[in-house]
Structure formats: C-alpha cells, structure tokens
Structure 1
Amino acid sequence: MILLKNGTVYTMDEAGVFVGDVKFDQGKIVAVGKDLSTDGCEVIDCTGKNIYPGFIDGHSHLGMQESSIRFEGDDVNEMSDPLTPHVRAIDALNPMDETIHNAACGGVTTVCSGPGSANVIGGTFAIWKTNGHVIDKMVINPMAAMKCAFGENPKRVYSDNKIKTRMQTAAYLRETLMKTKEYMAKKALAGDDISKQPAYDMKLEAMIPVLEKKIPLKTHAHRADDILTALRIAREFDVLMTLDHCTEGHLIVDEVKASGFPAFVGPSLTDKSKFELKNLTFATAGILNKAGVKIALITDAPVIPQEYLPLCAGLACKKGLAEMEALKAITINPAEILGIADRVGSLTAGKDADIVVSDGNIFNTLTNVNYTFINGEKVYQF
C-alpha cells in the first residue's frame, strides 16, 4: 500500500482541491482525504507538490506511428480503400515503442488512439494505458469509436480515382450507413435461419455498433463546413458523434452547442500546414467551453508529442480557457466522453490508481513530473 502524503490534491471530483493524502493498493485508490493513516504504507512525502489524476488524451495515434522510423513503423492509415471500418487499431499498436514510455513520463496515463484521417471511414480506435508490453493487457476498450473523416485528407489521398469533392466523401459515408441499415434489417428478418441470412460482410458488421449507438463516429473535421456536414449526417442517421479537432468550432459555436456532441479540440501547438487550418487558434477550447460544450484537449500525437498534453492545456489557458476547466479537459472530461469515468479521470476511491505527482503547476513548462503511477505501479520517477 502506498500513501502520497501532504500534497495539493486535485481530485477532479466533488471533493475539489485541498492539501491532503492519496492512498492506493493493488491498483486501486483506497482513500483520498486529510491525515490518512500511515499504518502499513510506503509513505511518499509530497509536501509542496501537486497530485493529479493521470492525464487522458482522447485522440492520438500513439503506438501506431513509431519513433525514428519510416514506413516500417507507420500503421496509421490503411490507404488501400477509402472505406475500412473493419480494421482495428489494436492490431497495429506497438506498446514497446519509446513514445509510450515518454507519454507516461509526462503524466499521460490513458490514450484513445487509432487510425488516421486518410479514409472516409478509417476503422476503430482503442482506449489503453501507457504501461506494459502486451497491448491486450493494457487495453480498456479495444473498440471504442469508429473513425470517419471529412475535409482535405480523403480528397488528397484518393484524388486520382475515387474522391475529388467533399460531396463524394459525404456520399461514401451515407451509402455505408444506408447499406448497414439494410444489412441489419435483413439479419433481423432472417432471425436464426442461417439460410436466409445475408452474406457476411465484415465492413458492414463493423458499422453495426455505430447504428446501434454503442460507439460514436469519431469525426475528423477542421473546417466549419465540414463540421456542419458531419452534424447533418449524424442527424440523418441518429448516431452518436464526437467532433475531433473542431478547429473552426469557435466560428459556429451555437451549432456545435446545439448538437449536444462533445469536442476533442486540437492539435493547436502546430503550424497551419494546410488551408483548412487557417483559423487555428488556442482560443477555440475556451470559446466552446464558455458556450457550454464539453471539451477535451488532444495532441493528435505524434503531431504533438504525447507528453506535451499538459503544455497544450496551459497554452489554452493563456488564450482564455479557465485553469480548472483546462485541467478537466485532460482528466475527467475525456474520461466521461470516452465512457471510462468509472475507472479513470479523478482521484476517487475505487478508481484505478493512475496518479501524477509534480513539483509545481503542471501547465508550467519548468514543472517536472516527479512520479507517474499507472494501475498503482510506479512507472516513472524523476
């Protein structure tokens, strides 16, 4: 049993922020409070230090595009077909790449990573912890969301023969959703009679959880018109959706708010590398947050190295996002959006012991992470 003693505890739950202790054992938080008993505990003095829940990035490609390597380690985009809902991130994740340990050293303990934005439908994202050597033992949810993409990327990748306009991108997605509805209806009508079942279609099978609202469409959309197209299709088919990147969300804040969908905002610590990023600003997160949109901040790693997630939150503060809201945006908010708040996102008894100890405000560039614990295991010490 480990006791973190006398630190400033950012619980991210109703207990708020206070100077106190966090006790954990066998991978779970046992108690959070003041003057907790030290009996039977390994005590770590956290006087003058901050104690946070492990940080969570809700959209990256960690483990899929390896460090210091080219095509051999790049498994982000399956660019053989614009429609690949049947591919799964878990089959491409390499937990032994150095970027995973770097993430943990920076306090990022949970990520949702998956396919890139080359395809109209790219496949499923997985949620996993940044410690271990076997991805099957690290994963929280192997099929957490279905990636889809609007805007420049599908047009660029498939401009030679399949996609030349945004109209075609939207049409591909609509067609796949309609075919899935038809496929589901045929399966239901056939019941248990295998002779009447439609021919097995792996792609359509993968889309069924989307139409059953078991997983959301994880929607890559930067420009305002692309965000609106995504929302239009979500309404047409009554599906769940997260607005990933949402770069121009601040220009259509009322529509984003009215949708009820959360936004994974970022990456903002990058150059305007293409036209659809011309309105990129760290102010987006604060504007959406003030309007009542649930936001989480992302790195899109390796676009921004995964360990710089807290830095991105700090820069969003500089542009108007309140400090506690920024902290929520890398802890409890992504946990709730991803459906894993019963395990992570706050320092609450019963949750996983994913804990970060730092020697100052985590948004400050001079602050060091002193300890990172994942499932109660000390995976990094400064």
Structure 2
Amino acid sequence: MKSMTRALLGATAVAALATAASAETLTIATVNNGDMIRMQGLTEDFTAQHPDIELEWVTLEENVLRQRVTTDIATKGGQYDVMTIGTYEAPIWAAQGWLVPLEDMGEDYDVDDILPAIRSGLTHDGKLYAAPFYAESSMVMYRTDLMEKAGLEMPDAPTWDFIKEAAAAMTDKEGEVYGICLRGKAGWGENMAFLTAMSNSYGARWFDEEWNPQFDGEAWKATLTDYLDLMNNYGPPGASGNGFNENLSLFQTGKCGMWIDATVAASFVTNPNDSQVADNVGFALAPDNGLGKRGNWLWAWNLAIPAGTEKADAAKEFVAWATSKHYTELVAAKDGWANVPPGTRQSLYETPEYIEVPFAMMTLQSINSADPTNPTVDPVPYTGVQFVAIPEFQGLGTAVGQQFSAALAGQMSAEDALAAAQSLTEREMKKAGYIK
C-alpha cells in the first residue's frame, strides 16, 4: 500500500513538474496605483483557471511606465506580453501596427457592454486594440466638514470662482490643512493632464485649426495664472513634486480641503481602512467658467498586447479575465462594490448595489460629459480632452509640463513659462511638418 502511495505521489509530482515546465510566463507591465495592486492580489483566481500560465509583474510609477513601454514597443524590445497603456497610446499604436487586435475574447466577454465613450477611444478601423481595466474622468473631491466650517455649500456643478473662494476659506496653514491640492509633477499625463483639462474650461487650446501653438494667448495666461495663484496661496508646500499618488496621500491624511483629480480616487478617499477623512468626503463635477466646457478629462487605463509577443493567445486569456464582468464581481465579493474598477461597462451602472455607492453616478456623469472629439470652446484639429492625439504630444506635453512645474516651484514666472512653452512647441511642430 505504501509503495502504491509513493507511486501515486511520484506521478503527481512528475505531472506538476511537467505542467510547470510547459507553463507560459506572461510579463505584465502595469502602473503602481491601488486598482492595479488589487488586481495582482486577485490573480490566484486566474491562475487556478489557467494552470499553464504564470504571471510576472513589472509595476512602475506612472511616468516611468509610460517611458518604458513606449521605448519597448517602438524598438520591438519584446520585454512585455501585456502592457498597461492609456487612451492616448491605444489608437496611435494600433495605427502603427504595434498592437494585437482584441478579437476572439470569449463568448462571455461582451464587448458591446463597454461604454461607447471609452470603447471608441480604444478602437482603430473598427477593431478594439486595448481593453479598459478602469476608466475615469475628473471631479472635485472635498471635505464636507471643512466646507461646513467655512460656511459654504459646494454646488454639484461649481465654477472656478467658487473653487477659489472655498480654497481660501478652508486653508489653515498653521494646522497643516491646505484649501486645495492639484497636480504639480511634470509630465504629459501628470500636471499637463490637469492643466490641459482646466485650460479647456478657460477657452484655451493647444493649437488653432492650422496647428499653430496658442500658449501666447490670453486664455492660457489666465489658466496658468489662476492655477499658480491657487497653489501658491492655498496649496501644500513642495507641490511641484506632487502627482496623483502624492495628492491622494495628502487628502487621505486630512491635509487637503479640496482635490480635483481622477474620479477613480473616490474609492480610496472614502475607504475607512486607508482614509482618515472617509466619513467627510463629498463630490462635485469639475469646475467651469461659464463657457460651455468643464475642466474634466477622459481617460482609461487599459490592457493591450504588443504585436511582438509570441504569447498572444495566453495574453488574451489574461486580458479577458482582468477586464471581465467576472473580475468586477470578484472584487465586489472581496472588497465591496465601492472598490470595483469603475467607468468601463454599462452593466455596472445598472447594478443596484453599485448605484448606491455615493460617487458612482457622479463618475458616470463626468465621463459622459467629456467629449474628446469636441474638447475645446473654439474649434481644434485634434481629438483628446487632456491630451492631443498626435504622436508628438508625449514629448511636447512633458516638455511644456516641465516649464509649468518650474513656474510652480518659483524658478520662473508664468509669463516666462508660457513663452518657453510657445517657443518649444512651435519648434517641434515645425520640425514635425505641421507648420512652416
């Protein structure tokens, strides 16, 4: 009997070794935010269903992730089998032939359930090239207790003038409470995501209809001046180094009266396990100036498969799992409906349990109000709300962001920052052949 048991155990061990030897390892590059970290913690569900697929994670800060995956895919480096990319990259890279079209995702995947505003931004020539893990717009998150203490009431749709008034009223620098926290870290997807969206509500544009840069106009001057005034008078020290994660930490620890940023942050600031102010958070639409555009963006973090991978079938299995209705239900069962990845599927906003989440419908309203095909007050030749959907924007946006971050740090004036932005953008657009 013992010898039979040993034989059975031996056969099991051999089978396990054989499975391990034949397993494909997917290398997944992703961003170091809370939703992606949560996904990594839930992947036992995937590997249990796919014992022949192993996962290796490369988790990076937002700016670093963008730089590395862009370099890898452009040079056909082949380091990654699945990449986390944004709404900006997906259609541009698809047009270059750099991504695998996401066809044959399984009978239960239900591509048609993806919100039209999100799906259209990930589609090229009628094919989906990236699957949204979560989608977002931006909105105002604020301390209800501090607003009440200041004798103010946040409107559902505030103006920038109200934001200035509230920031002043809620600031208590001696108590280390700052009226407003905004992105200051340089990067096309960091401070320029916020500032470009803000500029839309001020009537500004990156380019006119002939692709001439517009940083020398009054609308951009008003945008940057008001941003610097808000941050210098009512913002936290060292704001030029603060991006999404830094401001999230400040808000969660009670240092910010208001924070205008990604709607996806709502679950983090209202989670009592992470946020000291979870019971005192309210939400409002991003501000406007009465010109017909609000200062909110449209974005999705998506999973895509580089065309150079030799493991496309296994990669599709993972992407389908991570962006499925099943995954949403998995998160809800473990961490509650407030923590599921938002903004991607219509069915989520038809789920009674999710509709009751305080920020759910404000997120959907914000997403639906952003129009990447008509992002500005005056006409423009580009699409994109907080970015310009041309290949050159990645470098341009970061270079301009560096000028504006330097102005926030007090290293140059607003006028000098705008002049530098105008000059470098003109130079690059001439070099790329957009203007003469």
Who wins on radius of gyration, i.e. which is larger?
A: 2
TM-score by shorter chain over 0.5: no
Of structures 1 and 2, the one with the larger relative CO (CA 8 A, separation 6+) is 2
What TM-score, normalized to structure 1?
A: 0.28
Richer in strand (by share): 1
Richer in helix (by share): 2
